[in-house]
Structure 1
Amino acid sequence: MFLSSCSCHLAHLVFDRLSNNYVGDLDNLRLSGKVGGVDLDLAQVRAFVAVAEQLHFGRAAAKLFLTQQALSKRIQRLESALGEALFLRYHQNVELTPAGRRFLPHARTLLAVADAAALAARPQARPLRVDVWGPVHHPLRLMRQLADESPELIFELSMRRSLGSALEALERGELDVAFGRPHDLGRRWPADVSRRLIALEPIAAGVVQGHPLAEAPVLTAQELKTTGLWWPFEESPSELVGLLRSYAQHLGVPVQATALNLGVEHTLADLRRHPHRVTPLGARWPMPDDIRVIPLSPTPYLPWSVVWRPDNPHPLLPQLLSRLDCLIAFDPSKDWLPEADLADFLAFSAG
C-alpha cells in the first residue's frame, strides 16, 4: 500500500508551562511565555518541518500532497499560535528565521513523539517511513514497483534530496529506510547504521534541441572539453556533487555550477534559457520532447544503497530489505564509478 507522508496521527499535542524545561531553548523568554498553554496542531507542525527541509513552498506542498495555498495557511496559523515568524519569504524560496531554526528540532521531536504514541496505541498501524531521495530517481521507481507487487508492504515516502539529511533522520528514529550514495557526505559513516548497494543508475548528458551536439550518438571527453558540464548546485547534495566533480576530473572537462537548485523542471527551464549548456541527467528520466538525452562515454553511474538501522524492530523492515536484492551490471571497460563506489561494487560482486 502506498501512503502519503502527510498523515497526521494525533490532532494536537499540548504544551503548558510545566514543560518549560523542554521548550526553554525554543526561543527567548518572551516567546517561551507565549508557548505555554498553546495547542500545537500537528498538521501545522508537519507542514513547518516539510518547508524547513525543502526551503521551497512548492516542493513542500507536493511532498504533503497539498496545494501551496493550503500549506501557506497552515504555516501562517502556526506562526500566529507561536507569535513569531518562522520563515523569511522570497517568492517561493524561503529561509528559516532564528525562531524557526530554534523551533525545528523540537518540531521534529513532536512528530516523532506523536508517531510513537500512535504506534503504541495501534502497534500494527504504522507504515515504514522511507526516504526515496527525489522525485525522478531510481528509489521512487523501485518503491512504486514494490507497492504494486507487494500490497502487504505499507510505507510512506519522503524526499529529503540528500542522504546526509536522511541519515540524520534515520539516527533520530524518524526514518526506517533511506536510499542514497554513502560517500562524500562530509562525515564518518555511523557505526549503528547498515547499508547495501542495490542499484546503479546511468547518467547521461542533456541538451536542448538545436544544440550543436544534439544529434551526436554519444559524448566523450573530446566533445565535453569544449562545452564543459553545468549543473544547478554547488555544494549540496554533497554526495552527488562529489560524484559529478570526480567524473569531470576523470575526463579533464571544465565545470560550471550555479547555486539555485529548484528541481528538474527548473533545471530544464534554465537549460532552455542557456541553450549552449550541457548538463548531467538520469539516462532513464522522462524528458520533454525538446530535451535531447545523449549517452556519455565512459558511462558514469549514480550508485544507490539502501540504508537502515539493524536495531530497528519494525516488523515490515526485513521483508522490505529482502525485496531489494538486485542484479547490477557494470563493465569497467566502458563504465565509470568513483574509487569508493567501485570498491562497494566489487564487494557486492564478491558477496
Structure 2
Amino acid sequence: MDLEAVRTYLAVAEAGQFQKAAADLAVTQQAVSKRIAALERDLGVRLFARTPRGAETTIDGQAFLPHARELLRVAERAVASVHTARRPLRVDVINLRGAASGLLRGFHRTRPEIELDVVKLLDIDEAIDAIRAGTIDASFRAVGTPGRPLPDDLASVRVIDEKLELLTGPGHVLAGARAVTPGELVGHRIWMPGILPGSEWAAYYDDLVAEFGLTIEATGPNFGSDALLDTIADTPALATFMSDGTRLVWPAGHDLRRIPLTDPTPVYPHSLVWHRDNPHPALAALRAHLAAAGTVQDAPGTWVPGWARRA
C-alpha cells in the first residue's frame, strides 16, 4: 500500500477539501486526486463523496480512518527503529523486582534524559535471539552455563552478585534464626514454583542443590509472588529463596522472615549482555553507570557455580 496515498487520504479527511489538503501537503490538487483515486482502486471502495462543501468520507472511508492512522504510526516506528538516537534504550531483566531492575532505576535517576524500555524475556536463549535481532539492546543474564556459550558477536560483563536469603513464615523451625548456613538447610523443603527447565536460573539452582545437598521443589503452578508469599506464610514446612535485592511487600499478618545465608553466601551472578556492534549512544552510558554502581564479584565468603566464575 502506498503510504503517501494513505497520508493524502488522511489530509483530505481532516481538511474536508481536496484543495485544502493539497495546500497542506504542498502538492497540486491534481496530485491529491490521483493519489486518492489510486488508493480507492487498491481498496476497491470509494473513500470520499463529493459535496458542494468539499469532500466527505463515505462509510468505507470512515471505517478505513483508524487503520490509516495506525499504518502511518507503524511506519514512523519502523523508521525510528533504525535511528538509534531517536528510540529508547531497550533492556531485558530476569526479574522486575530484583537487583538488576534496581540498577536500572538508579541509572534512570542519574540519566533521566535517556528514555528506557524495560522488558522481561523468558530465558537467556530468547534474550540472545532478541539482542542479535536488534529488538533489545541489552539483557541482564547469568552467563556461562555449560553448553551455552555466548555467540562471538555478543559481549558481556558481570555487573552484580545478588545474595540469596531464606524466606520463611513465622511457624517455620528456622524462623527465629539470625542467619543460617546452606548446610543447615539440608532436609528442609525449599519451594520455588516456576523454575523453567533448561533456563539459566534452573542451571544455577541445580548446581546449588548438588553443592550443598539441598531439596528444592518446583512443583505446582506458578501463580506469582503474592501466592508464593501466602503459601510460605501459612505452611510451616515450607521456605523459599529470595534475593536480598528483591523488593516485596506483604500483609502484616504474614509475619514473614528474611534470613541471611552465610558460610558461604550463595549469590546469583548477573551479567550485562549486548551486541558488539550495537551503536545506541545510551548503551555506553549504561555500561559506565553499571561499572561504577555494581558490586564486587566473587567476594570472600560467597558461592557461585564454577561456570559463573569461569565466565
Superposition TM-score tier, normalisation by shorter sequence: 0.5 to 0.7
Q: Using the alignment, how far apart are the partners of 2:78 and 2:144 within structure 1?
A: 31
Unmatched runs of 5 consecutive residues or more in structure 1: 1-11, 13-36, 38-80, 82-110, 345-351
- Secondary structure class of the residue paired with 1:325: helix
What is the match of residue 187 of structure 2? 226
- Paired residue for 1:318, among 276, 284, 291? 284
Q: Using the alignment, how far apart are the partners of 2:300 and 2:218 within structure 1?
A: 29
Deviations 1:66-96 (A, max 9, x none): xxxxxxxxxxxxxxx9xxxxxxxxxxxxxxx
Q: Structure 1 residues 330, 133: CA separation in 2 closer, same or farther (over 3 Å shift)?
A: closer
Deviations 1:265-295 (A, max 9, x none): 2321332353311211012323435221111
What is the match of residue 308 of structure 2? 341
What is the match of residue 80 of structure 2? 118
Q: Using the alignment, how far apart are the partners of 2:88 and 2:175 within structure 1?
A: 45
Correspondence list, 1:45-194, <5 A: 115-119=77-81, 124-184=85-145, 187-194=148-155
Quick check: 1:249 aligned with 2:214?
no
Q: Structure 1 residues 337, 124: CA separation in 2 closer, same or farther (over 3 Å shift)?
A: closer
Quick check: 1:267 aligned with 2:228?
yes
- Secondary structure class of the residue paired with 1:323: helix
- Secondary structure class of the residue paired with 2:139: strand
Give the superposition deviation at 1:208. Answer: 0.9
- Secondary structure class of the residue paired with 1:206: strand
Q: Using the alignment, how far apart are the partners of 1:159 and 1:194 within structure 2?
A: 20
- Secondary structure class of the residue paired with 1:240: helix
Q: Using the alignment, how far apart are the partners of 1:171 and 1:328 within structure 2?
A: 27
Give the superposition deviation at 1:153. Answer: 2.0
Give the superposition deviation at 1:248. Answer: 1.8
Deviations 1:24-65 (A, max 9, x none): xxxxxxxxxxxxx8xxxxxxxxxxxxxxxxxxxxxxxxxxxx
Q: Using the alignment, how far apart are the partners of 1:140 and 1:112 within structure 2?
A: 29
Percent of aligned pairs sharing the same letter: 28
Could you say which structure has the larger radius of gyration? 2
TM-score (norm 2): 0.68
Correspondence list, 1:18-33, <5 A: none
Give the partner amino acid of 2:282: L
Give the superposition deviation at 1:258. Answer: 1.6
Contact 2:164 2:266 in 1 (8 A): yes
Quick check: 1:280 aligned with 2:246?
no
Q: Structure 1 residues 273, 181: CA separation in 2 closer, same or farther (over 3 Å shift)?
A: same
Give the superposition deviation at 1:249. Answer: 1.5
Q: Structure 1 residues 234, 135: CA separation in 2 closer, same or farther (over 3 Å shift)?
A: closer
Quick check: 1:328 aligned with 2:295?
yes
Contact 2:169 2:234 in 1 (8 A): no
Q: Using the alignment, how far apart are the partners of 1:323 and 1:241 within structure 2?
A: 29
- Secondary structure class of the residue paired with 2:227: helix
- Secondary structure class of the residue paired with 1:144: helix
Q: Using the alignment, how far apart are the partners of 1:152 and 1:237 within structure 2?
A: 38
Q: Structure 1 residues 222, 187: CA separation in 2 closer, same or farther (over 3 Å shift)?
A: closer
Give the superposition deviation at 1:234. Answer: 4.2
TM-score (norm 1): 0.60
Contact 2:92 2:119 in 1 (8 A): yes
Q: Using the alignment, how far apart are the partners of 1:330 and 1:123 within structure 2?
A: 32
Quick check: 1:296 aligned with 2:257?
no
Q: How many residues align?
A: 237
Q: Using the alignment, how far apart are the partners of 2:123 and 2:75 within structure 1?
A: 24
Unmatched runs of 5 consecutive residues or more in structure 2: 1-5, 7-42, 44-66, 68-72
Q: Using the alignment, how far apart are the partners of 2:89 and 2:120 within structure 1?
A: 14
Q: Using the alignment, how far apart are the partners of 2:79 and 2:230 within structure 1?
A: 44
By relative contact order (CA 8 Å, sep 6+), the higher-ranking structure is 2
Q: Using the alignment, how far apart are the partners of 2:177 and 2:302 within structure 1?
A: 19
Deviations 1:179-202 (A, max 9, x none): 111133863321111111111010
Contact 2:163 2:267 in 1 (8 A): yes
Q: Using the alignment, how far apart are the partners of 1:175 and 1:223 within structure 2?
A: 41
